[in-house]
Chain A
Amino acid sequence: MTTAAVTHPGLVGGHAEQPDQLYVETRELRVQGFLLFMVSDLVLFSSFIFAYLYLRNTGQGWPPPGAPKLDIALAALNSIVLFGSGATMHFALENWKHEHFIKFANWVMVTIVLGALFLSGQVIEYVKIAAGWGSSGIFGAGFYTLTGMHGFHVFCGIIFLTILLMQATAGKYTFQKYTGLTLGTLYWHFVDVIWVVLFSIFYLY
Chain B
Amino acid sequence: MEWLVENRDPVVRLDRTFWSVTALLGVLALAAVLWWALAPIRAIMPEAVDKAYQIDTLFRFLAASGTALFVYVCGYLIYFSIAFRKRASDPPDKIGVQIHDSHSLEFSWTLIPTIFVVIMAIFSIRIWYGIEFAPPNTLVVEALGHQWDYSFRYPGVNGEVAEMHLPVGQPVTLHVSSYDVIHSFWVPDMRLKADMVPGLINTLDFTPTKPGKYSIVCTEFCGTLHGDMRSGTSNDKAYLYVDPPDRYQTWYRQTQLAQAHAGNTIAVASTSGVNLAGGDAGAGKQLFAQKCSACHAIGPFDQKVVGPGLKGVLHDPAHPNLVNGQPATPANVSKILQNGFSGPMGRMPNQTQNAISDKDIANLVAYLNSLK
User: CB within 8 Å of B: which residues of A?
Assistant: 59-61, 64-66
Contact = CB atoms under 8 A, between A and B. Distances in A.
Interface string B278-308: 0000000110110001000111000101000
Contacts of A61: 297-299, 303, 309
Chain B at the A interface: mostly helix, strand, loop or mixed? loop
A70 to B, nearest CB: 18
12 contacts: A59-B297, A59-B305, A60-B297, A60-B298, A60-B299, A60-B303, A61-B299, A61-B303, A65-B288, A65-B289, A65-B298, A66-B289
Nearest to B309: A61
B231 to A, nearest CB: 32
Contacts of B298: 60-61, 65
B301 to A, nearest CB: 13
Nearest to B300: A61
Given A65-B293, A65-B298, A60 B305 contact: yes
Contact-size category for B = 10 to 19
A61 B293 CA distance: 10
Interface of B: 285-286, 288-289, 293, 297-299, 303, 305, 309
B200 to A, nearest CB: 9
A64 B289 CA distance: 9
A41 B285 CA distance: 40
A60 B297 CA distance: 5
A65 B285 CA distance: 8
A13 B299 CA distance: 69
Contacts of B289: 65-66
Contacts of B297: 59-61
Nearest first, the 5 A-B pairs at minimum CB distance are A65-B289, A60-B297, A61-B299, A66-B289, A61-B297
A59 B297 CA distance: 8
A66 B285 CA distance: 9
B285 to A, nearest CB: 7
Contacts of A59: 297, 305
Contacts of A60: 293, 297-299, 303, 305
Contacts of B293: 60, 64-65
Nearest to A58: B200
A61 B285 CA distance: 16
Given A59-B305, A64-B293, A65-B285, 7 more contacts: A59-B297, A60-B297, A60-B299, A60-B303, A61-B297, A65-B298, A66-B289
Contacts of B285: 65
A59 B305 CA distance: 6
A64 B297 CA distance: 8
A66 B293 CA distance: 11
A5 B286 CA distance: 68
A177 to B, nearest CB: 44
Nearest to B289: A65
Nearest to B199: A59
